[in-house]
């Protein structure tokens, strides 16, 4: 189980929230009509309407006494699967309709930093004009925007580079910055300032300073010296969190409130590319219970952030793409709102941003399982088109004739899905995301079926085969 501390928020200053978890994998698959609840929600609100609970009453409870978070913020993680500019309008329209009240944008290397930070910026990064457009669109759809800048851990995108490697907390790991080092502090405040200067023009009631997954602390010389002053490793962490919070609070004046943090995608395994909505709905049911029991322990529970990771960190593979998880988000939002669907029956033709990608990815997941079972269990395939047959072109053509139709049966849909997914993904994502998804989750299966088809066709044309022994394998070198 991968445990992370809920993001420390600057409104809390030196308070810490409870823990959230990534992991606890639930293997229940998405039901065939899994998007029905999402589609029920889609039709209930007019375009650009303000969310129903966006009023000043507190606490906001339903008729059963369940606490409804006043602010429901959806996290958009752009360190993986960053969207093309034109797709943001579709996303914001959708978020407004499912009654989200705002977004938390984690820009990472997609923000157009200048100065020393410019060398770390993604080649596909947005321009300042693009960022302005995104923020204006969010405001037009009545979504408040909270910027997220990592100020502790999750700084691989900077620390992986040679010119910043000397600022690592641990020289081996480019995750955590050596935060007591003056040069590191200047880098952190530069990131904050550049992002905040753009956001504040469009309204910036809150600022998220990250502070999760800081695995290496008290390692670099500057940290050891400061830890000696502070008295312990924990106090060293709080010293840094507190001074970052004070810097933002003094300069940009956000408010002091308590928040919770759940998840709507990217918290069910780093390589989970299809959605598992039951996992997230159960998480939100638990949050509703906890909030309902404990809201009166605080001056105000400001809201709930629904986190949606695109990668577990900068180096990890892409996990669920946003369109795959949008139905799960709608069902999670409905759970948080404590308002069951008022429509009856089944809704057909569910529409949401990237719905075709959702369909194609779930079809691929099913086809992939079928192909894996075929590869592991098929009698003829494993007996007469093995690696030996591939390599040495020696097999029984009688069996090959039986294998070829089944190979084609499995290959055709996989190859079709690659083509269709490329077309649909390219509409929403930059080319690197398209290529990375295909390479990570589809390429091995595609290469396997193509290699087997090629071997079967070549063997079918042969009239003679080598006598034994013909399998030669050089001993592997010792490690």
pLDDT at 347: 52
pLDDT at 330: 92
Domain ranges of the chain: 62-342, 359-461
CA distance 126 to 85: 8
The answer to whether 236 and 178 have CB atoms below 8 angstroms apart is no
Percent of the chain with pLDDT over 90: 66
Select from 3.30.30.10, 3.20.20.80, 1.10.3720.10, 3.40.50.11540 the CATH code of 62-342: 3.20.20.80
CA distance 334 to 348: 19
Q: Output phi, psi for 34, to 5 deg.
A: -60, -20
Out of 292-296, 311-315, 356-360, 375-379, least confident range = 292-296
Catalytic residues: 213
Query: What is each CA distance from 268 to 22, 61, 147, 166, 437, in whole angstroms?
Result: 6, 30, 24, 34, 17
Nearest by Cα to 378 from 416, 342, 409, 357 = 409
Show the tokens assigned to 294: 């404990």
Helices 397-428, 431-441: inter-axial angle, 10-degree rounding: 150
Global pTM value: 0.84
Instruction: For residue range 44-92, list pLDDT tens digits in order.
Output: 334 455 554 445 678 888 888 889 898 999 999 999 999 999 999 999 9
Three-state DSSP at 33 gives: coil
pLDDT at 217: 86
Instruction: For residue range 206-259, list pLDDT tens digits in order.
Output: 999 987 777 888 899 999 999 999 999 999 999 999 999 999 999 987 555 556
Instruction: For residue range 306-361, list pLDDT tens digits in order.
Output: 999 999 999 999 999 999 999 999 999 999 998 665 554 445 567 899 999 999 99
Bond into 452 cis (ω within 30): no
């Amino acid at each position: 189980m991968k445990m992370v501390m809920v993001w420390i928020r600057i409104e809390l200053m030196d308070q810490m929230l409870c823990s959230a978890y990534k992991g606890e994998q639930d293997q229940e698959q998405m039901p065939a009509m899994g998007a029905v609840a999402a589609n029920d929600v889609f039709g209930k609100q007019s375009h650009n309407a303000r969310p129903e609970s966006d009023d000043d009453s507190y606490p906001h409870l339903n008729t059963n006494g369940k606490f409804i978070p006043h602010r429901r913020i959806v996290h958009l993680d752009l360190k993986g699967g960053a969207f093309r500019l034109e797709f943001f309008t579709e996303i914001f329209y959708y978020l407004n309709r499912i009654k989200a009240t705002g977004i938390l944008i984690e820009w990472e290397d997609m923000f157009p930093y200048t100065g020393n930070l410019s060398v770390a910026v993604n080649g596909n990064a947005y321009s300042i004009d693009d960022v302005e457009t995104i923020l204006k669109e969010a405001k037009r759809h009545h979504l408040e925007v909270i910027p997220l800048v990592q100020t502790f851990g999750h700084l691989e995108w900077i620390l992986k580079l040679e010119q910043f490697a000397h600022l690592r907390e641990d020289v081996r790991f480019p995750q955590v910055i050596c935060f007591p080092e003056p040069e590191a502090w200047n880098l952190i405040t530069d990131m904050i300032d550049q992002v905040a200067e753009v956001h504040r023009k469009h309204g910036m009631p809150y600022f998220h300073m990250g502070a999760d997954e800081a695995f290496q602390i008290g390692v670099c010389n500057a940290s050891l010296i400061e830890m000696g002053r502070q008295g312990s490793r924990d106090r060293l962490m709080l010293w840094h969190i507190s001074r970052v919070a004070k810097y933002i609070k003094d300069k940009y004046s956000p408010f002091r409130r308590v928040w919770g943090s759940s998840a709507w995608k990217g918290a069910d395994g780093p390589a989970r590319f299809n959605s598992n909505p039951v996992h997230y709905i159960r998480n939100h049911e638990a949050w509703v219970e906890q909030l309902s029991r404990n809201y009166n322990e605080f001056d105000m529970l400001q809201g709930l952030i629904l986190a949606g990771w695109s990668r577990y960190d900068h180096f990890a593979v892409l996990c669920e793409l946003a369109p795959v998880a949008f139905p799960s988000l709608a069902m999670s939002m409905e759970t948080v709102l404590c308002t069951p669907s008022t429509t009856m029956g089944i809704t057909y033709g569910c529409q949401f941003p990237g719905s075709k990608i959702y369909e194609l990815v779930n079809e691929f997941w099913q086809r992939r399982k079928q192909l894996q079972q075929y590869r592991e269990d098929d009698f003829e395939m494993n007996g007469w088109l093995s690696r030996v047959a591939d390599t040495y072109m020696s097999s029984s053509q009688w069996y090959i004739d039986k294998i070829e139709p089944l190979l084609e049966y499995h290959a055709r849909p996989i190859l079709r899905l690659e083509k269709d997914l490329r077309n649909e993904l390219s509409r929403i994502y930059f080319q690197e995301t398209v290529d990375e998804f295909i390479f990570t989750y589809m390429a091995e299966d595609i290469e396997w079926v193509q290699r087997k088809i090629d071997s079967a066709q070549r063997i079918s044309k042969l009239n003679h085969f080598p006598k034994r022994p013909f399998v030669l394998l050089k001993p592997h070198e010792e490690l």
